[in-house]
Structure 1
Amino acid sequence: MTGPSAPERICLALPTNRACSPTLAAVAAEAAYAAGHFGVEVHLLVLDSCDEPTLAEHARVLAGLPAAPGVVTHHLDEHRQRVFLRRVTERSGRADAGRLLSLLLPDDVSYGACTDRVFLIAAALGCRSVHRRDSDSAYQTFEGAPVFPVHHEAAALGRPAAQVADLVSETVLDPALARRPVSMAGASFIGELSVDIGEMAELDAAVYHDVVSLWAPGHWSEESRRELVE
């Protein structure tokens, strides 16, 4: 006889380079919710690029969180990330493994690089999906309880698009794509602009317009796109 199959694994990831103890606790609550609601094993992955005092405070917060069945926490500083990435790049067999390592873990802050690291580590952990959160964001609430994005993400990812279409209020799904699995789920932020978009607006209004216009549905008029941007 064989035992029950292991639960599927998902990765709830929080890269950070700033103090964010309240966010750590909030994301940990989302991880516990996902494990309890979907029966998955949630790997809470914190990629921490903070200074030593902040890193130590984050470690204290994570260690003090209540144990949650089905949640496994990984708190990796840049040294531990570098050790993992060096092994990965060396095993890749590429002649430029050193350059690849420097691109994955650059000296300067890089949203793209930290997202690449998240996906590599999640794959190594055997996770079927990645759910990224930002350290400067917070959860909306409904009737006094936090609204966790993973509720909709985990319910949609991997399922045929036609099945997920019934779960939303509006859809422009091409029937030819109805059988394809959902590979990405996202939502809109409410509140202050994220730091990268805000800086873009300050530096170049035209570039800001072009980027934010991409958020609009394809059938929107130019006037509607302009209203979205403004």
Structure 2
Amino acid sequence: MTTPPGHKGTVLAPLQSPKLRQAVFLDRDGTVNEEVHYLSQPEQLVLLPTVAETIALLNRHQIAVVVVTNQAGVARGYFPEQRLEPIHQRLQILLGEHQARVDGIYYCPHHPSAGLGHYKAYCDCRKPMPGMLTRAAQELGLDLTQSLMIGDRESDLQAGAAAGCLTALVRTGYGHETSVAIDHNRVRGIGTFDSVGDAVEAWLGLNKH
């Protein structure tokens, strides 16, 4: 898989077993944390209710949790790419307060038209392309066909479907607007839910059958 210039993923924990695992992929802004227009400071990151508890549940089930996020603010020059590291450190700290953690955080810093310099690029990592998910699967040993992508935008669900995952829309962030306009035939959706917790509960229920 070709890695576009500037594309980076932070792998936060190696697998202990070669067996492929299920995963839940989560969009970041509007899904894991409150939507902030071009969030650029660590202190702006505030977890949405029940997200940490849901991630802790997945941790206990040994289901990988991976954040995949478009970061066009980097591409547009609104803040430097280096700012993402402390933002994601804060995310892990907040989760850790609830005995929760994510296994990896992957981001796309590109934009095909509004990007500046080498960030102006057509890439396979910017959702709705599935590159972040497929890279995570390769690096973390994940079974995409047994995994779930949760997000608040149609591009999140399109990326999940393109990677072979089931998908779920949440009404947080831009989810209300998305639920009106979404083409459900393109996203392999299991439904629209009020929260990440509700989506994961429904998906875990499907896995029991």
Q: Same fold (TM over 0.5)?
A: no
Bin for the TM-score computed over the shorter chain: 0.3 to 0.5
Q: TM-score, normalised by structure 2?
A: 0.40
Return the structure number with greater helix share: 1
Structure with greater Cα Rg: 1
Identify the structure with bigger relative contact order (alpha carbons < 8 Å, sequence gap 6+): 2
Q: TM-score, normalised by structure 1?
A: 0.38
